[in-house]
Structure 1
């Protein structure tokens, strides 16, 4: 291929810029041209496309978010919209596409590949919920942001001898809640992958109070219920007073960690290598510390699974 394109889609994740940088510079190093597609699939349909040079991606490796911006696009979900996108790609001389994003972004890349346009998916989402890869770009940064917040909230919980419920992101996947809860020493973690046992939670809190525990931290993934709903349940069931903190979009922002910068650089570069081999319909990931590529369809044929051994461990350590 002589020219490829790169876009970011879906929710932003720290490290996306590092991945864009890797795609652009790896391709240029091998004598290819690169076009940046702004505002995701919507920008692709609208032809919001500009050539990128080495200097255009300078000083972005440390920045959160995405310099290419992101947007939702209902039109792209239709075959007509997808064919419009391919027409724009061909009009700009683009022969292959790197898509950096999560589940919805992967579906778009797979749709383009099925229509004959080589596309490669790079996992960029803080939820860490893409099957086929051990980690996604942005997960480590978001995790550390949550841990920092837990540490600060625990200071107040200790000072005022109160129980706090902290709501974190994770609509269908509990990795952020699970990892942050274990790392932050939370007494209880609620994730979508494990049925919620509110009565069991009440018992754990009451047992803690009986042995003199004055405060506790409860982590709940947004896909289970809201922190406010959980606070209401605890009040109604056992007259337990709690305070609520919803971390929200603070989890998506911030300068990416070293781990995310390295991961993004590795995966972005690998995506270019795949396109250089004239292959499409491929996802890039990391398994057992090795960068791999696999069929994009595999990301939809398998379900993401949380490490439930960590869930068990968190319960054992929070007695």
Structure 2
């Protein structure tokens, strides 16, 4: 394999995240500035392994990525691909790239996507990953592309819910995304002054939630906010049902459940995510230019750094305990 790429491809994989388009733009234009050919792969790994006649891999020009930096989602599209676990299937994807003269790949995505990137690297392809997931659970980056936008979308929704909750003296139980990581729930709860934040990493049971809602009522508040991560032991609907059945007299507020769901993925990327996408994308090309691959590009402090994919795959970044403690203190 050549130490330096002459033609590269870029794909987005897994759940979409705002800022991916800026990363695609930065990868493409930075590579073109090196004089390399650039190809965009549609529909993630599914597009990579598709038959060539399906046209899932196409040449990109600077104009192809013009005007996309402010768009949410990903213009390349994304898809899940269970077949990619098979080494022979991955080899087909590598062959598809080789037929086009492509000798390096940039993968923009989260845990599953970077596991695929590492597997490709193990099979001999020069791969660089970009840390992108709204869950912000990926090792190798303090904050991942898309997390800031998702948090801002959720905070905006909760702020609006507070208005109507206060008008009707209600408790709003709001479910945000986060299957096994409570980062979004924690940041949204802290930013909105929630009475309780229910996380996968910290089991806050119905009795404790009821007590915190009751305390808000006793303090004269006209509303209460409870933020629940979708991967917590009790999701929002289950929690509300238990509170209604077993703690109605303590809670006293009327309760309403709101599940924000995939609306959190669809926001216009924030300035932070636009800048992060630009920095990560450009750094990925710097890595390939100097022959560095098999790494994840992420943000540590204010510095863009690389971490070996082998140190990223199969791990979940722990939740910051200082934020948990701060949320508990400020909810008093």
**Counterpart of 1:300 in 2: which secondary structure?**
coil
Residue in 1 that maps onto 2:120:
112
Residues 1-319 of structure 1 aligned to structure 2 (within 5 Å):
1-46=5-50, 47=52, 48-224=56-232, 225-239=234-248, 240=251, 241-300=254-313, 302-319=315-332
Q: Please give the alpha-carbon distance, in whole angstroms, between the structure 2 residues aligned to 1:95 and 1:172.
A: 35
**Counterpart of 2:316 in 1: which secondary structure?**
coil
Can you list the C-alpha shifts for 1:14-38, whole angstroms capped at 9, x where unaligned? 0000000000000011111101011
Is there any run of 5+ residues in structure 2 with no aligned partner, and where?
Answer: none
- More divergent stretch after superposition (70-79 vs 155-164): 70-79
Task: Give the aligned CA root-mean-square deviation in angstroms.
Answer: 1.1
State the Cα distance separating 1:3 from its structure 2 match. 0.2
- Superposition TM-score, scaled by structure 2 size: 0.94
State the Cα distance separating 1:302 from its structure 2 match. 4.3
Q: Please give the alpha-carbon distance, in whole angstroms, between the structure 2 residues aligned to 1:221 and 1:18.
A: 28
**Counterpart of 1:286 in 2: which secondary structure?**
strand
Is there any run of 5+ residues in structure 1 with no aligned partner, and where?
Answer: none
> After the TM superposition, which segments of 4 or more aligned residues of structure 1 sit over 6 Å from their partners?
none
Can you list the C-alpha shifts for 1:231-290, whole angstroms capped at 9, x where unaligned? 011112211441000001110002100100000000011111111122321100110110
Q: Please give the alpha-carbon distance, in whole angstroms, between the structure 2 residues aligned to 1:215 and 1:175.
A: 24
State the Cα distance separating 1:90 from its structure 2 match. 0.5
**Counterpart of 2:9 in 1: which secondary structure?**
strand
Q: Please give the alpha-carbon distance, in whole angstroms, between the structure 2 residues aligned to 1:208 and 1:12.
A: 37
State the Cα distance separating 1:301 from its structure 2 match. 5.9
Q: Please give the alpha-carbon distance, in whole angstroms, between the structure 2 residues aligned to 1:303 and 1:50.
A: 34
- The answer (yes or no) to whether the contact 2:167–2:222 under 8 Å persists in 1 is no
**Counterpart of 2:312 in 1: which secondary structure?**
helix
**Counterpart of 2:76 in 1: which secondary structure?**
coil
- The answer (yes or no) to whether the contact 2:171–2:213 under 8 Å persists in 1 is no
- The answer (yes or no) to whether the contact 2:44–2:79 under 8 Å persists in 1 is yes
State the Cα distance separating 1:209 from its structure 2 match. 2.3
Q: Please give the alpha-carbon distance, in whole angstroms, between the structure 2 residues aligned to 1:149 and 1:162.
A: 16
- More divergent stretch after superposition (211-220 vs 167-176): 211-220
